[in-house]
Structure 1
């Protein structure tokens, strides 16, 4: 029986830590360049990991359950409010094609990595589903799919640690690519050429440059939060109704029930439909992206809580190989097909980044590099990953479940 300084029933103290450490992680990421390179997600996770292994906070508590039950479902629609399908295609059609090609690389890597390591890593079919969604859309998909496939907390924590380490290493690679002679000689780089011809450097971290202060009103907050609550409630109720009326007999019915009765897939579908049908309303809301991202940072803190160091040492090295294979396949397909169809080097970099890290990291990299013409397109294209990642991850998980 674990004995910790803060007890599981100390709900307000635990919420103070969850919300407070998420805020500290964001502050550090935007204030200091070292923290921006490490990323706020890793800082959030690491702080919780350290405190739980020092027996300061418990590894299981009702406050953590509330994050899974309420915080994650609310974060998903808030982060999807820019996912207008018509606008994604009209403004970013060329980059969207490359992003989808890059997603194929993720799926290829998922199957290759699974069959290479399935004998060595427990729960790998579930983890493969989660990481497929994550490496097509980012942490939003990871949150939804890990809840859907019910990955054990210890294995999920180990996977998150391996994933964040891999993402950090891969982002350094992507950042370094424009400076490598091989890529500059063999790939067109018009955005880099334009930046090199212009003068001036921006101060601050890439996170601070992306999350700049914007005008926001009480009405924005009220409509963003209120609509998110309504969308979650309606989506979960629809999924519950479908789940109760669709028969559980036969593979076809089970597949249909799994899709229509899945509350996270229904949440994604209802949100995207609403945003596409009512673009003016959702475009007018300032702050939804910020609120949703802050909620996801609370999720990162919770993910670090049950991370047992012995389990990390036991599983993370193999999981690191697993995610490395997925990322390598994504990179090979993205740059190989991108070269074949004459995409620019910058387009390949941000498309792969949007797959592996999500739209915010890709947009932040475009901002940091000064590729201003790619910032909005990659943000829009990356939100497409939020949409398709849950579906593709679900399909991958269901097909691998029998192995």
Structure 2
């Protein structure tokens, strides 16, 4: 197998998984993101790629594809977001989201202090955790690149994150509302249905978490716009690389990721670019490529030989931030539904907002939930990198 053939495989297999999810609803319920990562792990466990390709060449290819995919995806995911509109979603939702972000950062740092003697690279783990649980998986991947985190630590964290986030989601959708309603007040409608429907237009492209959302990438009529999205994103990455060259080499990775995020965010204020078709979907497809590639790099022994300390640390962040946010929301008189949707906006990702709002039987919180999740995604890289270096400064490497 040549490097070119292997590269085509990494770029095309996620498309095959998307197609299968479109054909089989059961697979779609699992989610194409989880399937991409899981299928990559399956291939890693069942096939020895070194038979067909030089191991070092394969490692270099996997690293390059994963880093390029995440770098290009970051701007695409924010191009179509109306940030100005998102910031107008004020009130209790943004207060609660601010509490959620602070809770994750504080609990991550406390956890780093508690687990300092048990976990190597604890500052990297703390930073990536903040990225994952204030924004999402793309943030964790971006921070991993920014702080040059250990590859095996990142892959292990990704595996544990999938499992623990699934447990968190089940809890929020079932037991959380009855439990937290014991001491948080009930939700009171404050917005009209008309404003909710108007807001839906700003976020409708983010709401579809099914594989059908990728069908737009195959439409010939929007192909020129899709290519423009790719070129503009590449321009953001190139500009970020140029900016990073102005800084010392030790800071280049962090500066590059921050610059990519900032350039993508700034570009989203240009109406023409914000209205280009398929930017979010193309970015999500690159996330699938990233997940599949990282899955093929997984040492499956991390699943059979559980790292209890790392597993416990991630679990501590999820549970600890949830409890701390609930306590502060009680002091601030924030209602149960707003607390849960903002906690989910931080811990999970944008497409899960309608799912969680449906489980809470409250459609009115969908739009504020979108705004909160977008805020977390936009600033997640900044928060994660800041926590990583603050933890390293205080606790050492």
Aligned to 1:338: 329
Secondary structure of residue in 2 paired with 1:132: helix
CA RMSD of aligned residues (A): 3.2
Aligned to 2:119: 121
Aligned to 2:39: 47
Secondary structure of residue in 1 paired with 2:79: coil
> Comparing 64-73 with 140-149, which one deviates more in the overlay?
64-73
Aligned to 2:264: 271
Aligned to 1:197: none
Q: Tell me, which stretches of 5 or more residues in structure 1 are unaligned?
A: 1-6, 195-204, 245-256
Instruction: Supply the distance in 2 between the matched residues of 1:186 and 1:374 (Cα, whole angstroms).
Output: 16
Change over 3 Å in CA distance of 1:69–1:45 after alignment to 2: closer
Aligned to 2:160: 162
Change over 3 Å in CA distance of 1:23–1:183 after alignment to 2: farther
Aligned to 2:228: 223
* Deviations 1:108-159 (CA, angstroms, capped at 9, x unpaired): 1111211222222222211211111111100111111111222222222111
Q: How many angstroms does 1:99 deviate by?
A: 1.2
Aligned to 1:21: 13
Aligned to 2:210: 208
Aligned to 1:236: 241
Q: How many angstroms does 1:79 deviate by?
A: 0.6
Aligned to 1:4: none
Secondary structure of residue in 2 paired with 1:142: helix
Aligned to 2:365: 374
Instruction: Supply the distance in 2 between the matched residues of 1:273 and 1:102 (Cα, whole angstroms).
Output: 25
User: Scaled by the length of structure 1, what TM-score is found?
Assistant: 0.81
Q: Which of residues 379, 386, 392 in structure 2 aligns to 1:395?
A: 386
Q: Which of residues 100, 106, 111 in structure 1 aligns to 2:109?
A: 111
Instruction: Supply the distance in 1 between the matched residues of 2:238 and 2:150 (Cα, whole angstroms).
Output: 26
Instruction: Supply the distance in 2 between the matched residues of 1:355 and 1:126 (Cα, whole angstroms).
Output: 19
2:32–2:211: 8 Å Cα contact kept in structure 1?
no
> Comparing 346-355 with 365-374, which one deviates more in the overlay?
365-374
Secondary structure of residue in 1 paired with 2:297: coil
> Comparing 365-374 with 165-174, which one deviates more in the overlay?
365-374
Instruction: Supply the distance in 2 between the matched residues of 1:234 and 1:93 (Cα, whole angstroms).
Output: 36
Aligned length in residues: 370
Change over 3 Å in CA distance of 1:10–1:227 after alignment to 2: closer
Q: How many angstroms does 1:242 deviate by?
A: 3.8
Change over 3 Å in CA distance of 1:326–1:242 after alignment to 2: same
Q: How many angstroms does 1:162 deviate by?
A: 0.8
Secondary structure of residue in 2 paired with 1:207: coil
1:53–1:309: 8 Å Cα contact kept in structure 2?
yes
Q: How many angstroms does 1:233 deviate by?
A: 1.1
Q: How many angstroms does 1:25 deviate by?
A: 4.3
Q: Tell me, which stretches of 5 or more residues in structure 2 are unaligned?
A: 193-206
Aligned pairs for 1:3-402 (under 5 A) are: 7=1, 9-12=2-5, 14-27=6-19, 35=27, 38-57=30-49, 60-92=58-90, 94-177=92-175, 180=178, 183=181, 186-189=184-187, 207-208=209-210, 211=213, 217-243=222-248, 258=251, 262-276=255-269, 278=270, 280-366=271-357, 371-402=362-393
Secondary structure of residue in 1 paired with 2:175: helix
Instruction: Supply the distance in 2 between the matched residues of 1:261 and 1:50 (Cα, whole angstroms).
Output: 32
1:351–1:362: 8 Å Cα contact kept in structure 2?
no
